[in-house]
Amino acid sequence: MLPVPADRAPDSVNTLIKRAQALAGLSLGELALQANVQVPEHFRREKGFTGQLLERFLGAEAGAKAQQDFPDLGIELKSIPIDPSGQPLETTYVCYAPLLGVAGIDWASSNVCNKLRHVLWVPIEGDRSIPPAERRLGTPFLWSPNADQYAILKADWEELMERVALGHVDSITARLGQALHMRPKAADGSALTDAIGQEGQRIRTRPRGFYLRTTFTAQILADQFG
């Protein structure tokens, strides 16, 4: 019996974990068949296909805005593409970066901290030589940052957000941040949003998002799977 899409949100962490475990070892093609959808030939378009398919099987409220995937459980869902040795192939998107009205916000109340407090990681084969339909899901696991990881994330966030608050958003590059960095996050290069300029004036700049570096997520996977 293959799993079927969930018709409601999980009522407990246990339920969520069990649903996720039931998917381990299955391919996207098998899941797509159960969900009556087609797996794209490649992810050049439909980059979010895997995550959205997972949401359906786990019962996450799709399209929910700026919140955890399972708000009642306080858990965020993240798929993570890995190579044959278990190394992450991509950085992990965390959330949109606020560029305006950032004066009062602090790390503990930030969206990044909120989302990373509890994450259900679902590894998936991500090698581009494997057709998407054949890519199999790995063993899911629940993670929370340990003291060291928490301190690094906090420091990175504070460094980046200080630049935003001081009107130096355009000095931010993806090279900043040990574990967490900031990069463009938009439909294309023409997208612009408001931010604070060097003189405190309003400027237009590319929207940004927070992402976890692969070195950081590799450590999470190593801690879990040794």
Partner DNA sequence: CTCTGATCATTC
Partner DNA sequence: GAATGATCAGAG
User: What residues line the site for DNA (CB under 7 A)?
Assistant: 42-48, 50-52, 54-55, 62-67, 69, 76-79, 81, 90-91, 93, 95-96, 98, 111, 124, 126, 128, 173-175, 181, 183-194, 206-207, 209, 213-215
Nearer to DNA (CB atom), residue 27 or residue 111: 111
Q: How far is the CB of 122 from DNA (least distance, A)?
A: 7
Nearer to DNA (CB atom), residue 1 or residue 17: 17
Q: How far is the CB of 91 from DNA (least distance, A)?
A: 5
Nearer to DNA (CB atom), residue 4 or residue 100: 100
Label residue 8 exposed, middle or buried (CB < 10 Å: 0-12, 13-18, 19+): exposed
- Cα 213 from Cα 93, distance rounded (Å): 9
Q: How far is the CB of 14 from DNA (least distance, A)?
A: 21
- Cα 216 from Cα 226, distance rounded (Å): 15
Q: How far is the CB of 85 from DNA (least distance, A)?
A: 10
Query: Which amino acid is it at 61?
Result: E
Nearer to DNA (CB atom), residue 8 or residue 44: 44
Q: How far is the CB of 43 from DNA (least distance, A)?
A: 3
In total, the chain counts a number of residues equal to 226
Q: Half-sphere exposure of residue 136, counting CA atoms within 13 Å on the CB side?
A: 9
Nearer to DNA (CB atom), residue 1 or residue 201: 201
Instruction: Encode 162-182: b = buried (16+ Cβ within 10 Å), e = exposed.
Output: ebbbebebeebeeeebebbbb
Least Cα distance to 16 among 94, 70, 71 occurs for: 70
